[in-house]
Amino acid sequence: MLSTDTILIIIFPLLKDKGLMGVELGRLTPVFVILFNSVWGISTALWLSSISDFQNSDKR
């Protein structure tokens, strides 16, 4: 969630001048950022888990 907080609290308001949580880009911008980062995190966790299982099966 650190990347989500960084985007919503630092990048949008301070660097891009789009208001707190990027609301000047649209009211659903915070929801999109949270959803996108959640999907990214879940898919990365699943991929790393499958790679770990694959590597463990080779060692047997």
Q: Where are the domains of the chain?
A: 2-58
For residue 58, what pLDDT band results from cuts at 50, 70 and 90? low
Instruction: Give mean pLDDT, residues 3-19.
Output: 94
Instruction: Give mean pLDDT, residues 4-9.
Output: 94
Instruction: Give mean pLDDT, residues 6-30.
Output: 95
Dihedral-angle region of residue 20 (phi above 0 means left; psi in -120 to 50 means alpha; beta otherwise): beta
What pLDDT shows up at residue 38? 96
What pLDDT shows up at residue 8? 94
The tens digit of pLDDT for each residue in 32-54 reads 999 999 999 999 999 999 988 77
Say how far apart CA 24 and CA 46 lie, in whole Å: 34
